[in-house]
Amino acid sequence: MEEDEEEAPKELNTINSSGGFLVVAPDKLSVKYTSVSLHGHDVGVVQADTPAPMRRLLYYFEIYVKDAGAKGQIAIGFTNEGFKMRRQPGWEVNSCGYHGDDGLLYRGQGKGDAFGPTYTTGDTVGGGINYASQEFFFTLVQLFIVCYSHDFVCSYVDASKNGAIVGTVSKEKEMKGHLFPTIAVHSQNEEYVYHFFCVFI
């Protein structure tokens, strides 16, 4: 491998995960929540096996929501290597997450910002990093969502899933270093399938 090449995520990291609340399929691409979610720390979290490549213009991945479960508390986002694996992405520092049950974007705290539509069974949700513009972006079906972190304000244009631009959010300056694609599940029977893409230029 050439020195300037970076390995891209290919599967889920089954070693560093909150495994007591979920089951990862043998293919390391599918996850199901198996607990009963008695309190806020019963979150099933899995990171990708490697961080998103940094020496590219763009990195992107998706999940297919096979089953939204009892409450649809699936979240997609990015976290660093030291992230607490029993918390939703975005609830802790050095993390950002788009949550399916409320459509809010969380950035390093438990209070979210209005961001986009909720998502549920049958939806495909994507997350990415645009290194050129230093922005996180999220997609839902054909809906493109981004947001600004400078003033912690997210604009909201259209809640439909028809490809409308919903807003933008810049990558926080505090979120430095390697960031891992991360998914969390938090209610009974939630299940998703990871899709890793080499969409980085």
* CATH number for the segment(s) 12-196: 2.60.120.920
User: How big, in percent rounded to 5, are the helix, strand and coil portions of the chain?
Assistant: 0, 40, 60
- Helix and strand numbers, DSSP H then E, in the chain: 0, 15
**Please, what are the averages of pLDDT over each run of 10 residues along the chain (201 residues)?**
71 83 93 82 91 89 92 94 90 92 93 91 88 87 48 38 49 78 94 77 60
Q: How far is CA 21 from CA 37, 45, 114, 157, in A?
A: 8, 8, 28, 36
**175 residue type, one letter:** M
The residues spanned by each domain of the chain are 12-196
pTM, to two decimals: 0.84
Q: Supply 133's token pair.
A: 């513009």
Residue 123 · residue 145 · CB < 8 Å = no
Name which of 201, 136, 200 is nearest 173 in CA terms: 136
Report the 10 Å Cβ neighbour count for 114: 14
- If you ran DSSP here, which 8-state letter would residue 111 be given? -
21 three-state secondary structure: helix
Residue 181 · residue 195 · CB < 8 Å = no
**164 residue type, one letter:** A
Per-residue pLDDT of 140-150, as tens digits, reads 864 445 544 43
Radius of gyration of the chain (CA): 15
Q: If residue 99 lies in a helix (H) or strand (E), which one and from where to where?
A: strand 95-99
